[in-house]
Amino acid sequence: MTPQKNKTLGEFIIENQSEFRYSSGELSRLINSIRLAAKVVNHEVNKAGLVDILGTAGDTNVQGEDQQKLDVFANNAFIKTLTNREIVCGIASEEEDDFITIKGRSGNNDNKYVVLIDPLDGSSNIDVNVSVGTIFSIYRRITHEGTPVTLEDFLQPGNKQVAAGYIIYGTSTMIVYTTGHGVNGFTLNPAIGTYYLSHPNMQFPVDGNIYSVNEGNYVHFPQGVKDYIKYCQKEEDDRPYTSRYIGSLVSDFHRNMIKGGIYIYPNTAKDPNGKLRLLYECNPMAFIAEQAGGKASNGFERIMDIQPTELHQRTPFFCGSKNMVEKVENFMQLT
């Protein structure tokens, strides 16, 4: 079915749920719950500066990072919404030490899905009014329905995802998601609180001229990344490329998908395994990228083929226009 603009997210979900392999309505209700929680978080993000929601909360998360007040709020909002609606059997959040087992009112849980979520990606940008986002990933559980979830349900490679998406809280608020049948974007009309299909069948340009990397860490990058950056800056053919780095993965990814570009967060001497989380950030973004004709790699292998061994595992991340990712892989493999 070809999506039509002016269609609401709710209508789109209903009309397209038959494309989903295990069509039971449960996945549709799950995405609707994420939509609801996103509205709550969006409302709070838009009040930043008017209420006491800016700054740090005074705690650190499992990553050792200072938690922003909005991190805590967003984390609680998504967990509460998904838990109260009893549509998932487990949740793993970047802000939580361990996964959360959800029991139904009967004490058991017959739901089929687990959600992994980065509630507020780029939250350190909130204080300076820069776009932030939410990233989510959905898997079908491995363990038997009716039993408590285990770590095994969350440590699945990205190629087992059944849905993934992100919400970007920017000049407009958008939900962009895939269930393995292309990528579609929906923009919130704040006047009536409804998301409308605004970006049907989103695609990465095969080539691009934007590279997004924190060049302040250049001296600590692997030689292959240094060589690729020099390649991007060289005056030849359609180069030099443009350097654009916001510091919010959702924002950088979203721009590059629309305009064509590559996002780079390599390993460094300080972070030899990279810094981005495989399960909460890289896998969902890789799924979206591939469904939009792009590519995602750790520099040597496909992100979604990596078998996770830890809930908060980190990985280098190269994601974006297919030809650009393949070019940086070439540089990495030559060193």
- Known binding-site positions: 94, 118, 120-124, 214, 245, 275, 281
The pair of three-digit structure tokens given for residue 287, joined into one six-digit string: 């799924």
Q: How far is CA 155 from the centre of its chain?
A: 17
Q: Write out the binding residues for substrate.
A: 121-124, 214, 245, 275
Q: How many residues in total does the chain contain?
A: 335
Neighbours of 11 (CB within 10 A): 15
* Of 48, 69, 50, 49, nearest in space to 58 by CA: 69
The pair of three-digit structure tokens given for residue 44, joined into one six-digit string: 């709070």
Q: What is the 3-state secondary structure (H, E, C) of 90-146?
A: EEEECCCCCCEECCCCCCCCCCCEEEEEEEEECHHHHHHCCCEEEEEEEEECCCCCC
Q: Can you tell me which residue has the tokens 């749920």?
A: 17
* Cα dihedral: 35, 36, 38, 44 (round 10): 160
Q: Write out the binding residues for Mg(2+).
A: 94, 118, 120-121, 281
CA distance 44 to 51: 9
